[in-house]
Every structure is written in structure tokens, then in C-alpha cells.
Structure 1
């Protein structure tokens, strides 16, 4: 009898050890998986009732019930800034500017509260939200629909994509199933789920109004900027990526970072901004496509930062002005204004003057068509581009390269890079055309295409359209020349010479370290 008892105890202990060992192994395997792989495993093991698309009269009850528990309320504590962002009112406002941020200038720093939304994407507490929701946070608190509250930590964030990944220490949490934003159709019914106006979980419905929208609110990417992804300035300034899903589902203060889902209850986007002259809903919202989100959050989880691959071209979106300037008949595509030396495009044979017409076989109508596809990839990944030269199209496979950072001269004891100096200037440039040079009687020059908020150019009133002929006494004809000249900055003073309709101008910018 005693032997039987010992054998039974041994069997129980052995089984427990085996199960425990398997759980440890399983957890380690899950840590190596992407979020998409984890979701596929989970839903394969836990098949639920199918959430059907609405037909006839819209009915989103099943989709709302499936998604709402996985969308969380994010409450942020921060130190209030002494002043708000400059500039006048814009119809395109980031939620950061009106979801609870202090609007008055304050003499002394004080604690301020703000709130937004987030989407659980795994049962172990990973949450995707917008960068602008958490970027200034001293403390982040996450509240679930069942009122459970957790403190969250930032895993990674990036203002160029306006995305952040945060995590709470919990398990077996409800989360939202990934969809496929490439399959989203204009006119399709969608739901927006979040925490607007300090209300509890709120669901609104609308349709997809447009895809691939650029509205000029992220980083240095302005709506009027001709630049797209992979330009020579990218080794100097990290270009923001905008390719929003536009919807008329009502979103408001606090919806930022919340879920945009289809009628099947699948996540297709992260709500990021609204178009509004008043700061509240006035017709349209904008969401970051989930296929881009997947790549970014996996990078955050594995590396803590985004691993970006670059095409290495400076291009202009096709427009009537561009067609006239360069004598082009094409109505679509991207005109290659310059190619980064030894960059990915140059290695694939793409040259200045070519027109990039397709990406992975799909026609390029705007820079966002290329931006988003490239932004989903990493250095070393390959992408098929089609370009036109002398009226003939050719397909090439481009192997994306990592960002190249060049250090400034160590002269004067400065260890700052040309990258940092360029960022302080705050501008985008494109090579001046021969016609422009002839007009102003100069032999060199780059045109300022955008002046970015918060930079030295804005501070000193340097305007878009100025032709910069020399930087630190050296002639400049492209962004590489600007970078090279900035590397020779002496005594922390950048000297810029330019021409405009008003004549020759000179600026001396102090670069404070």
C-alpha cells in the first residue's frame, strides 16, 4: 500500500514538473513571437463565434461587444510646460492639443492630467497607443472597462509614426484581434472605440471616407512638402510617415490611441487625429493603418525603437508644377530629384530624373503609397519598384538600407553630429532647378520647401521658398552638401547665405549645446 502511495505521489510530482516546464518553455517561445503570430496561436486554440459583417440595416452589436473590453482608458500625469506650441489655429489638430493639456501660459511648472485611449494587443498586457498620448508622461495609468487599474511603462515610442507601445503587468487580459488594413474599402462600415470627453468606453460608427491621406501633422512632414519616404534628407531628418485611413465615425477629445475596427470586430487602425476648426468633432477622423502598426510595435518589443529601411531617393510628387518644371507628361508617380550616393536606390540603378511609377506592382498616386509600404519593412528587406526612364518602364528589386549618420568635425571640441545641427535648423530642402538658378543668377542652391515648428529657421523668420546658396561658406546643391557643410560648423555658429525676390540675405544661427 505504501509503495502505491509513493508511486502515486511520484507520478503527481512528475506531472506537475512536466507541466511547469512546458509552461516556462511556452512562455519563452511566446516572447520570441511577433504580436501577429501570438494572436494567430491564441485564436487557433480559442476559436470563438464568428462575428458577421453587417448586411441590410447596420448592426454592430457583436463587433462592439468583442472589441470594447480590449480598448483601455489611459490617464497621464505630467509636468505642465511653461508655454504651448506656437503658431495659429489649424484645422488639423493632434489630440494632444485638446484632450486635456493645459492651455494657459504658466509661470511655474505644475502637475497636469491628460487622457487618451489604448488598444490591448496581447493577453500579457501590451498596449498600442499614440506617441503624443504618452510622450510627456511622468506617470501612466491604464484603466480597463471592468475598472481594474494598472500602472504602465513605455516600451517604445516614435513621433514620426505617432505610435507608442506600453505595457502593464497583468495576464489573461482581453485584447483586440488584428485585421488587414490593405483590405479596407472606401465606403466600408467601421467603428471607433475609445474614451472621448472623459466618458467611459464609447462606440461610434461611420464609413471609410478615404485611404492614404496625408494631412501634414506629424514631425517634419507638411501637407505642402514635396518630400516622401527615402529622400537624401532622411539620413539627417527622420521623415514622418502619414498614410491615414479617413473616416466619419465620430471621434473626439480622448479618442486618441483608440481602436478603429471593421464590422467583423477586427482592428484596422489606431485613431490619431481629427480635422476640426473648433477642436471637437466636425466631420473627419484619421487612423494609422494596422498593417503599419504591426511592424512598428514588433520593433518596439524587440528593439525598443523602430528599425527603418530607406530607399535613398529625394522625390517630388507629380503635380502640374512639377510636370511643367521638368517637362514630364506622366500624371502619376514620383519624380526622382536626387539619389543618395551608395544608397539602396542607387545600388539598384535608379537615377536622378527617373519617375518611380509603381511599388510592388501597384500604381503610385501619391508619396503615401510608397511611404507606408516602405515603412512596414526593415533594413535588408527587399521591395520591388518600377521606374520610367526615356519613356520605358523597368522593374528593379531594391534592398533597403539603414539610416546613415555622419558625425560632425571634432573641431572646436564639438562632438555633435551634423544630424543634430540640421535638426536644430528645422527645414526641408530640394535641389534648385537650373531655371531657378538662372533666375537668381547663382551657380548653386537648394530651395527651402518646409520650415518646421520649433527650429531655428522658424525662430529667426526664415521663410519657405528661400534659395540657400551657401552654408558655412560652402556652396550647396543638394541635402548631402548641406550635411557636409554643417559638419564644418565653427564656434557653434551656422552661417547661411541665400537669395530671394528681395535680394541676397545672410543669417548667422547660434547652435546652443
Structure 2
């Protein structure tokens, strides 16, 4: 070192070579180098030795904390496997049965019957009929126990409706499980294993995370299934509110040639430098208190970011609402404003203010009722200033239908404030709802906007949607009273016995108040040809 130069003990970790965020492990190594004597000569004097000892003690305490949290979290992470449900064998015709039996020599059938003796119900010829054998389950991901009753949170793609599901614990127990709820828009699902021996994790608050917070990832379902040992890594939060790439499949639901159909494609994901090289989908991302703050995803590296980056769905206010509904078996519902806009059409309006330009207001929508017009610029909603259309969709989608929220918009350069009551957006993809709302006389109704977008556009253009309020018939049980009266999905109802109905709750209240005879008024051009008052059967 030349005279006049200063020596930086963190030089290998700072300066031009450290423009990118440091992995937490390297960061701690640098801190240890500084604290444990890798500094100036003065730091190596006897007077500084006590400080080095204290630093060593701090690192030992940190290491002990990591070990304690990991040991506490590991039993709450399980492996999930699934297999197709066995197909029901089809009965063979008498001719096929005779043809099959004719292929055996005398005595062979008797030998087969002897072989299968002791297995009641086993057909000795079943193996020769081409009946499918029960397939073995294969590991598809991990899950996190979130309730002592056996509820397990995982990614949507880890489960599949109709398949048989199993969870394997770190104790080596394999338990059958069933889907309680699955939601394609959040990319989340909840399973239930019938046991009271599982240890749940407490939810943290991902909305409190900041860049630099240390986190621990626990997963690897293959290791859990094989030897009961999850893989673990730790690192820091390196970014927040990241967008999944449009081609990233998180729910098997395409839109055009992309999978951009989840909230996470709009910008929700936690990015961490914790190593997630193993198949960690559905694993736990926890803070240093051992609280669940994220569910690890299979998202590939996002363009412009480091290859080793890993991503997790945040356990924030919105996702906690989603998880609550999934645990109850309810359909997860998302808000809708009801405007059209160009996804990347932003506008700067004086002083750097940005917003979303409205190019269409759907008749009868929440935006229509709130008085929005074409060319208005929405600049804030629910107290959040908007940077673009993705953020608008994310904020609105994070709220439930029926919620009233403040909205600010610019018109002719002047800021206006109003309150909007949100409608419900139609969510494409396969849902699992085990506790649906009860039907009335075989008819299921929902918000008028909660129908396929093509049907909604057609109904709106034909004047079938009453701008003052109506509900949509989304399903009718075949053979029910409503079915026999000619009511079909895609019809819209504006009144029940003279009372206006604008959402499913108002519809249910109106039919209850109407007594034994209920009159339904359908919107113009939308009435069943043989429509009659739908009579409520007398209650004995």
C-alpha cells in the first residue's frame, strides 16, 4: 500500500465490482471479515480483540437463530404427489367375454382363480381385459401447513381436479388429501389432509418487506419424500412487486398465445437471491421469525434480472383474503371497474403525474355508475397513485366485488374525486369450489359482469344489461323448476317481485322476502319464451 492510500476492509465486496446486490452469504462473509480482524492494523491491536470476540458472538447468535427457525419451519413443509383416478372398468359384452375365455386351456382359469383366492372381488380375467392398473403417484410440488386441521397451501399447478392427492410429511407419513379450493387467478390452491398431527406456520405480512430483509426458503419435495429432509437456503429480498413473464404458465389458462391471466403477471412477486435451484414450487419463504411471508413459485428468471433469482407469491393482505376463501371452499372473487384502455397507454399530466386513459366505459358497469367517461384519466384508486394500467388492474383485482373505494380522475385537466362500487370480474380457468352458494330453484345467479367476456360484450351490445342494475344467470340445474320454466345461462334478471337486484346477495334477499310466489323480470330481449312466475314450493 502506497503512502496516503486508505485501505477499505470491504474492498473485495464494494466498489465498481459490486454494482449488483450481494448474495446474503457473501454479505455476511464480508461483515465477518470486517468484524473478525480483516481490517486495518489498528483493528488487530489487543484493545480491539474484545470487539472481535463480540462480533464472533453476534455471528454465532445469528447462526443459532437460523438453525432454530429452520428446525421450527421444516415440519410444516410437506411433499405433494398425485395420480390419475383409476378408470371404472367397462362391462364386456357376452361375445367378448366368451372370446376371452376361449383363449385359455382347460384348467388355466381354475389356476387363475386359485391364484386370486383370498382377494374378494378380484376378477381373475381382469388383467387380460386391458383394464387400466392404478397408477403410482408422482411428486408435483411442495406445500405449507397453514392450519392444525390439516389445511395445506400450495401452488395451483401442483394439484389437479379429479386426481388422487397425497402429502408426505418430514416424519415420513403419507396421507391422502383432497382439494378444498383452487383459484387460477391467484395461482393458489388449498388441500386438506385428514389429520390433527400437522404443525401449521403462522402468516407474516409480506407488505412490510423491504429490500435487504433476510429470508429463508424451505422446500424440495423430492428430498422430503425420499428422506424427510427439506432443502434449505437463505438470502435477502432483492426486489419486490415483480411481474411474471407473459409466457409463464401459473394456472394452465391461456389468453391468446400467453398465460397472462394471474395477478402475478401484473406485478406481485417477491424476488430473492436465496438459492431455489431444486423444484421448490409450493415451498415456504419465511422471515427470521419463522413466519410465512411467501409461497415459492416455479417462475423462471425474469428478463433483465439475475439467473439465480427465485420468486415467491407474497402472503400480503390480498393473498390472505384469497387464502381465507380457499380454506372455506368458497369461490375467490375479484373486483372489476368496467373500463377499456390500452395496456401501455400512460399519460403524463403536469408535474409528472401519471394515469390510465379511459377509451371505453362499459354500460351499466361500476365505472359507468361512478360517472367516468371516455378520455378521462384515472390517476388513483383505493388511495394508490397509479403508474400504469397493470397497477390499476392489480389494485382493483385485489378488492372484492361490492367494495366501495375512492377513485380520482382527471377531466379537462381538472382533478375529480368520486366513490365507485366494484363489480365482479370473470375469471377464466378451472376453479375448485367445494362450498358454493346455494342455488335457488336450481338457478345460480352472479354479478352481471361475472360471465365470459365474449358473452358480456354481446349482451352489452344487444342491450341485455340494465345499466341500473341486474344479475346474470350463470348456471341452471337441468330438470329443475327454473329449467322447466325455460330459464337458461346467459339470461339477465333486473327485478324480483318488483324489487331491483344488482348482485347475488340482493337477489337472495329479494326471493326470501317475496314469500311463496316469486316474479322474475328479465331484461329486454332476454325473456324465456315460456317464462312464468317461478313458484316456490309450499313448505310443509
Structure 2 length as normaliser, TM-score? Answer: 0.51
**Match for residue 205 of structure 1 among 234, 243, 260:** 234
Change (3 A) 1:254 1:175: same
Change (3 A) 1:354 1:68: farther
Does the alignment pair 1:347 with 2:347?
A: no
1:32-111 correspondence runs (5 A): 59-78=65-84
Tell me the equivalent position of 1:387.
409
Tell me the equivalent position of 1:132.
157
Offset at residue 153 of structure 1 (A): 0.2
Task: Report how many residues are paired.
Answer: 318
Tell me the equivalent position of 1:168.
193
**Match for residue 214 of structure 1 among 239, 243, 246:** 243
Question: 1: CA distance between counterparts of 2:397 and 2:309?
Answer: 24
Structure 1 length as normaliser, TM-score? Answer: 0.54
Gaps of 5+ in 2: 1-57, 87-131, 428-448, 456-525, 527-540
Offset at residue 315 of structure 1 (A): 3.1
Comparing 360-369 with 392-401, greater Cα deviation is found at: 360-369
Question: 2: CA distance between counterparts of 1:348 and 1:55?
Answer: 59
Offset at residue 264 of structure 1 (A): 1.8
Question: 1: CA distance between counterparts of 2:59 and 2:393?
Answer: 32
Question: 2: CA distance between counterparts of 1:367 and 1:125?
Answer: 39
1:108-257 correspondence runs (5 A): 113-135=138-160, 138-195=163-220, 198=223, 200-215=229-244, 216=246, 217=248, 218=250, 219-220=253-254, 242-257=267-282
**Match for residue 362 of structure 1 among 345, 359, 384:** 384
Which has the bigger relative contact order, CA under 8 A and spacing at least 6? 1
Offset at residue 331 of structure 1 (A): 6.0
Change (3 A) 1:270 1:150: same
Give yes or no for contact 1:296–1:376 (8 Å, CA) kept in 2.
no
Does the alignment pair 1:375 with 2:381?
A: no
Does the alignment pair 1:333 with 2:339?
A: no
Change (3 A) 1:328 1:152: farther
Offset at residue 210 of structure 1 (A): 1.9
**Match for residue 313 of structure 1 among 334, 339, 342:** 339
Tell me the equivalent position of 1:491.
none
Question: 2: CA distance between counterparts of 1:337 and 1:421?
Answer: 17
Give a deviation string over 1:17-65, Cα, whole Å, max 9, x none. xxxxxxxxxxxxxxxxxxxxxxxxxxxxxxxxxxxx9999675233323
CA RMSD of aligned residues (A): 4.0
Give yes or no for contact 2:279–2:298 (8 Å, CA) kept in 1.
no
Question: 1: CA distance between counterparts of 2:60 and 2:395?
Answer: 32
Tell me the equivalent position of 1:409.
none
Gaps of 5+ in 1: 1-52, 81-107, 230-238, 406-416, 424-486, 488-513
Give a deviation string over 1:380-409, Cα, whole Å, max 9, x none. 11222222222232332221113479xxxx
Change (3 A) 1:316 1:245: farther
Question: 2: CA distance between counterparts of 1:249 and 1:356?
Answer: 38
Change (3 A) 1:143 1:131: same
Change (3 A) 1:113 1:338: same
Change (3 A) 1:344 1:256: same
Change (3 A) 1:150 1:289: same
User: Which protein has the larger Cα radius of gyration, Structure 1 or Structure 2?
Assistant: 2
Give yes or no for contact 2:79–2:222 (8 Å, CA) kept in 1.
no
Does the alignment pair 1:284 with 2:313?
A: no
1:421-436 correspondence runs (5 A): 422=454
Does the alignment pair 1:299 with 2:325?
A: yes
